Structure 1
Amino acid sequence: MGKLELIVIALGLSMDAFAVAVSKGLSLKHMKYRYAVITGCYFGGFQAFMPLLGYLLGTQFKDSLTSIDHWIAFILLSVIGMNMVRESDNVHPKTDESLNVKDMTILSLATSMDALAIGVTFAFLQVHIAEGITIIGITTFIFSFIGVKIGNIFGYRLKSNAELAGGIILIIMGIKILFEHLGVIRF
């Protein structure tokens, strides 16, 4: 998997965090850049850690599953993508101005569970994990930072579109991986 594919996956993964960051920004009465930095650090950090954890778990099973690894990648990316598309209809999330450790950890875990599955996929596809988690973490930090600011200005209109776009991106990447392994297409 090349850098371009990693960037596309990072964009897809960051859309969940972006959507929650928009909601966070909406709930803030007074926008301060430190709120955006805190949110970006939480979401970016968890989005980088979870694929690493998934990768470590995936490498334990990689040898026994190599004949179906492309199907696993396709299924995981498609399921994650379809869930994001389905959740894009929920445009009225509960908003809370709090940036305390407990709340931010829960939100970060919730938005990064799909990244855990991506990490398992990375193990099967022999992705250079340091590069992958760096791209995912930085991309998510940037989108989360921007999401807080945009949410504070514009509100709910962007949330559902971000999740929809992220879901579609992940589904397309899953199909691409499957077709490449089946020899249907070559990039």
Structure 2
Amino acid sequence: MNPISLILLALAMSTDAFAAAIGKGAALQRPRFIEALRTGAIFGVIEAVTPVIGWLLGQVATRFVTNWDHWIAFLLLLGLGLHMIYAGWRTGADEPEAKRVRHGFWLLAATALATSIDALAVGVGLAFVNVNIMLAAAAIGLATLTMVTLGTLLGRVLGAVVGQWAEIAGGLVLILVGATILYEHLGAG
């Protein structure tokens, strides 16, 4: 995977967490930087671990599907991208939460896990292409830490509308990354 695809993948993986962070930040009463950083760290760690788990699962399956690996990666990313776009369109109907000063760890961890399911599936897809999973996981975790920290701080100002569009843009980027993997593989073959 080339560096640009890796950066795009990391950003795409962090957009759903960014969207959730905007919602979490909007639900807080004047979120401070330390709370935003704490939220970003929780999301970043979980988002970095899940693609490694997916990659390990994919490694087991690799020997059975090597002739179709590029199609599997493309279809997984296409499906996830379309799901993110669909979810982005649906988020406009969510009701805001009551204002609080700080979110509990388990609430943040559960939200981070929910937004990282796509990273697990991407990890499975990455097992079928030549990629350094530790580098990819670190990039995804760092991008998520940054995006969630910013999203939490911006949440109060920007609200759910930007979160909706961020998730839609992330879905489009995932589809683009999947198409790039397919193009690179078919072009090399």
Residue 175 of structure 2: aligned partner? 171
- Structure 1 residue 180: deviation in Å? 2.0
Q: Which amino acid aligns with 1:127?
A: V
Matched with 2:160 is 156
Map of 2:61 onto structure 1:
61
Residue aligning to 1:86: 86
Change (3 A) 1:77 1:16: same
Q: Give the Å deviation of 1:154.
A: 2.0
Gaps of 5+ in 2: none
Per-residue CA deviations over 1:36-62 (Å, capped at 9, x if unaligned) read 011101111111000010111111111
Correspondence 1:43 to 2:43? yes
Q: What amino acid sits opposite 1:56 in the alignment?
A: L
Q: TM-score, normalised by structure 2?
A: 0.92
Percent identity reads 38
Alpha carbons 1:10, 1:139 under 8 Å: kept: yes
What is the number of residues matched between the two proteins?
185
Q: Judging changes above 3 Å, is the alpha-carbon distance between structure 1 residues 49 and 95 closer, same or farther for their aligned structure 2 residues?
A: farther
Q: Could you say what secondary structure the match of 1:31 adopts?
A: coil
Aligned equivalents of 1:95 and 1:18: distance in 2? 16
* 8 Å Cα contact 1:91/1:159 also seen in 2: no
- The secondary structure found in structure 2 opposite 1:91 is helix
Question: What residue in structure 2 maps to residue 140 of structure 1?
Answer: 144
The counterpart of 2:129, out of the listed 117, 125, 128, is: 125
TM-score of the two chains, using structure 1 as the length reference: 0.93
Q: Which deviates further from its counterpart, 136-145 or 174-183?
A: 174-183
Q: Give the C-alpha shift of residue 94 in structure 1.
A: 4.8
Distance 2:15 2:179 in 1: 19
Task: Kindly indicate whether the alpha-carbon contact (under 8 Å) linking 1:50 and 1:116 is maintained by their aligned counterparts in 2.
Answer: yes
Q: What are the Cα deviations for residues 77-105 of structure 1, in whole angstroms up to 9, with x where unaligned?
A: 00000001001112243544452122112
In 1: Cα distance, 2:182 partner to 2:95 partner: 37
Letter in structure 1 aligned against 2:67: S
RMSD (Å) for aligned C-alpha atoms: 1.6
Q: CA deviation at 1:171?
A: 0.6
Is the partner of 2:127 in helix, strand or coil?
helix
Q: Take 2:52 and 2:95, find their aligned partners in 1: how far apart are those partners?
A: 29
Tell me the distance in 1 between the aligned counterparts of 2:155 and 2:30. Answer: 12
Partners of 1:24 and 1:95 within 8 A in 2: no
For residues 155 and 16 of structure 1, what CA distance do their matches in structure 2 show?
14
- Unaligned ranges ≥5, structure 1: none
